[in-house]
Amino acid sequence: MNIDVLMHLLNAAQQRCGHRDYVVIGSLSVLGMAQVEAIPLDMTLSIDADCYTLTDPPRVFDLVDDLGEGSRYHQLHGVYLDPVSPYLPTLPSGWEQRLIKVAQAQVTAHFLEPNDAAISKLARGEPRDLRWVRAGLRATLISLPMLRLRARNTTFLDAAEQAATTARLADLEPNQTN
């Protein structure tokens, strides 16, 4: 997916629910980067936009029938909106102040900063998440020292999630990112 396709989807959401501001989390949050052409393919393979409406997060769930997986929009455009709760991802303190805003047409997308998104992906730990983080490190869109710092400023779900994230972070040492 690219920024234009994502913004088209968010404009469709705005037309249906009236909200103009969306927070984009997950893999596609990297589309908020100014150097869009520098984003590796492994970071933009997703066809679903994990997001919520900024001022009324539950409202995004009303869009599932029109824009969600299996919807007519999904069938026509090959992408879909995946409504999420703002409480879903594990994120470092201060992530809200680091959101990257991109305005286009009638909507503004508020994207997670890539290092914040990477912490969430390391906490989740699925193979595709780790591939996303490694691609970001290789492209220097994510910084290993910044990830270490942000991990220290993250409230994890529990001790197991913190330990697993710490171990995954250790596995990202330079000799293991290639």
> 114, 132, 154 — which closes off a domain?
114
- Same-domain status, 48 and 110: yes
For 11-59, the pLDDT digits (tens) are: 999 999 999 999 999 999 999 996 667 899 999 999 999 999 999 999 9
Query: What pLDDT is recorded for position 178?
Result: 47
Query: What pLDDT is recorded for position 35?
Result: 67
Quote the CA–CA distance of 6 and 9 in Å, as a whole number: 5
Q: What are the CA-CA distances from residue 75 to residues 2, 80, 135 (Å)?
A: 18, 9, 29
Q: Average pLDDT, stretch 138-156?
A: 96
Domains identified in the chain, total number? 2
- Same-domain status, 44 and 15: yes
Res. 78: pLDDT tops 90: yes
- Let me know the angle formed at the C-alpha of 12 by 10 and 14, rounded to the nearest 5 degrees: 70
The structure's pTM equals 0.93
Which H or E run includes 35? none
Residue 147's domain spans which residues?
115-176
- Same-domain status, 52 and 129: no
- Same-domain status, 18 and 97: yes
- Same-domain status, 39 and 61: yes
Pairing of strands 107-111, 21-24: parallel
- Same-domain status, 101 and 166: no
> 69, 87, 114 — which closes off a domain?
114
Give 58-62 contacts, CB < 8 A, sequence gap 24+. Answer: 58/85, 59/17, 59/19, 60/13, 60/17, 60/19, 60/22, 60/84, 62/16, 62/17
Quote the CA–CA distance of 57 and 49 in Å, as a whole number: 15
Residue type for 74, please? Answer: H
- Same-domain status, 10 and 83: yes
> 65, 85, 114 — which closes off a domain?
114
- Same-domain status, 110 and 135: no
Q: What are the CA-CA distances from residue 95 to residues 19, 87, 151 (Å)?
A: 22, 13, 12
